[in-house]
Structure 1
Amino acid sequence: MPASSPPVLETENLTIRFGGHVAVDSVSCRYESGSLTAIVGPNGAGKTTYFNMISGQLKASAGQVRLYGNDITGLSAPARTHRGIGRAFQLTNLFPNLSVLENVRLAIQSRRGIGLNLLTRASSFGSLIEEAETLLDRTNLLERAGETAAALPHGGQRRLEVAVLLALEPDVLMFDEPTAGMSADEVPVILDLIREIKGDRTKTVLLVEHKMDVVRSLADRIIVLHNGALVADGPPDEVIASPIVQEAYLGVRKSHA
């Protein structure tokens, strides 16, 4: 990408205040295509709040969010999704009474602009169903396609969320603790999917994650938030070894002996 080109995604001095508390404090970051950035920090550091501001769930008190150089700070979450920002939530965000297949099919319909009033005629949309089944197969959910989303265990719902996200085909994919609540045998499915997405050089991936083994295995870059501020940004080994991360995130205090 030429140096003069804008990054895929950028936050500039992004800030949010709740009363007198500054939850995210003037965070400026650029995110390029073909990269996976892990956002880490201690509990209460502002990671999920920062995610919510990028995806549009929270309105910034100051600063900007830009996508391909265009200011999207004032856009709603659905409008940002339409522009190419996809978000998988830390808590599942599904249609619980619809089938696993229908959840994914509706996301595909939305992306294609077909409309969402065709629930009773799913059988007439063969290409939609075929694409949905492919995504369910990738997330190891095809055998449960006919069950309601509510019938899935928590880990299964998280995998379904990823299938829905993939169905939207966003340029920017945001994962908030994607393996939270999953059993040991479910985790590799999601991690392999994220690796596959990361391999697509047209995609930009942001990941909030507490598990450092996951961060080390996936991240091209780590940024660290602490008390809402950006305190470190760089290659994983360099950032993890930095004193501020060792103390603020990993709890390793520098010896004064």
Structure 2
Amino acid sequence: MSQLATHDLTVRFGGHVAVNGVTCSFEPGTLTAIVGPNGAGKTTYFNLISGQLKATSGTVTLGGRDLSSESASQRTRAGLGRAFQLTNLFPRLSVLENVRLAVQAAREGKHLRGLNLWSVWSDHAGLVARADQILAETAMKEKEHELVANLPHGDQRKLEVALLMALEPQVYMFDEPTAGMNHAEAPVILDLIRKLKADRSKIILLVEHKMDVVRELADRIIVLHNGSLVADGEPAQVIASPIVQEAYLGVAATREPA
């Protein structure tokens, strides 16, 4: 099972250092929540790992393979699966067609020069069966023939998780998966993440600002503040630490009287 690691990962935008020398590793069987105040560098760190941004310096490795110079699509084929705050789907295709294309890409992607979902279209019964299985697991089977453009926001987020599952990544990356969802929709996404967490061969990274979600799902929390890693450990310990209370929760650290 492969370890994901960043070493001295840094990105600068002009004179601003958005992520500052973050060295951290992530093991299979662990869900790590990445938290911090607005502007702390959480999503930027995600973008550096998944390849949406090019690092100024530092490395990203998966299973000892250096991904630092590889594109986002190459990192996807290497095993990094990323779900975005905004859905990234084919709106003019049906729910089933979206998932079927992702299944086909996962099975044949290793033999392709690029991850071109359109070039690997297939009606093979095995692909359809796998897509149907994923839709059942994500409670989307009843909507398999609906156009994605017609889905409500909550169902689009569920479909995004289904696409990630279809790609069978080594690493699942969720950036605020319940953003924009109402109280009835959010538990469905969290249940899906719980199911993924049960597979102890996978690494799960979660950027989340809702501390109730973090407390419930996380095995480990890392905290970013001003682009730097300032805390790392078990949830209860990290949440109770003065630096998190002050920097993330906005609560002044309690001090003993002189």
Q: Do they superpose with TM above 0.5? A: yes
The amino acid across from 1:32 in the alignment is E
2:118 to 95, 116, 119: 116
* Residue 127 of structure 1 pairs with residue 122 of structure 2: no
* Alpha-carbon distance between aligned partners in 1 of 2:41 and 2:60, rounded to the nearest angstrom: 16
* Alpha-carbon distance between aligned partners in 1 of 2:149 and 2:85, rounded to the nearest angstrom: 16
Alpha-carbon deviation of 1:118? 6.1
* Alpha-carbon distance between aligned partners in 2 of 1:182 and 1:138, rounded to the nearest angstrom: 20
The amino acid across from 2:25 in the alignment is R
Match in the other structure for 1:55: 50
Match in the other structure for 1:80: 75
Give the secondary-structure state (helix, strand or coil) at the position aligned to 2:22: strand
Alpha-carbon deviation of 1:116? 3.3
Match in the other structure for 1:4: none
Give the secondary-structure state (helix, strand or coil) at the position aligned to 1:116: helix
The amino acid across from 2:105 in the alignment is S
Does the CA contact (< 8 Å) of 2:92 and 2:147 recur in 1?
Answer: yes
Taking structure 1 as reference, are residues 254 and 117 closer, same or farther at Cα in structure 2, changes over 3 Å only? closer
Give the secondary-structure state (helix, strand or coil) at the position aligned to 1:188: helix
Match in the other structure for 2:145: 146
* Alpha-carbon distance between aligned partners in 1 of 2:24 and 2:119, rounded to the nearest angstrom: 40
Query: Which structure 2 segments of 5+ residues have no match?
Result: 110-116
* Alpha-carbon distance between aligned partners in 1 of 2:180 and 2:143, rounded to the nearest angstrom: 19
* Alpha-carbon distance between aligned partners in 1 of 2:200 and 2:40, rounded to the nearest angstrom: 30
* Alpha-carbon distance between aligned partners in 2 of 1:236 and 1:118, rounded to the nearest angstrom: 43
Does the CA contact (< 8 Å) of 1:52 and 1:58 recur in 2?
Answer: yes
Match in the other structure for 1:71: 66
After TM superposition, the structure 1 = structure 2 runs for residues 1-257 of structure 1, keeping only pairs within 5 Å, are 8-113=3-108, 116-117=118-119, 119=121, 124-254=123-253
Does the CA contact (< 8 Å) of 2:243 and 2:253 recur in 1?
Answer: no
Does the CA contact (< 8 Å) of 2:242 and 2:254 recur in 1?
Answer: no
State the identity as a percent: 65
Deviations 1:18-54 (A, max 9, x none): 1111000000001001100000001110000000000
Does the CA contact (< 8 Å) of 1:110 and 1:116 recur in 2?
Answer: no
Alpha-carbon deviation of 1:189? 1.7
Alpha-carbon deviation of 1:150? 1.1
* Alpha-carbon distance between aligned partners in 2 of 1:73 and 1:166, rounded to the nearest angstrom: 24
Alpha-carbon deviation of 1:117? 3.7
* Alpha-carbon distance between aligned partners in 1 of 2:6 and 2:253, rounded to the nearest angstrom: 32
Q: TM-score of the superposition, structure 2-length normalised? A: 0.93
The amino acid across from 2:171 in the alignment is V
Provide runs of 4+ in structure 1 moved above 2 Å.
114-119, 254-257
* Alpha-carbon distance between aligned partners in 1 of 2:120 and 2:63, rounded to the nearest angstrom: 34
Does the CA contact (< 8 Å) of 1:9 and 1:65 recur in 2?
Answer: yes
The amino acid across from 1:193 in the alignment is L
Count of residue pairs brought into register by the alignment? 249
* Alpha-carbon distance between aligned partners in 1 of 2:244 and 2:253, rounded to the nearest angstrom: 11
Give the secondary-structure state (helix, strand or coil) at the position aligned to 1:180: coil
Give the secondary-structure state (helix, strand or coil) at the position aligned to 2:230: strand
Deviations 1:142-172 (A, max 9, x none): 1111111111111111111000000000011
Query: Which structure 1 segments of 5+ residues have no match?
Result: 2-6
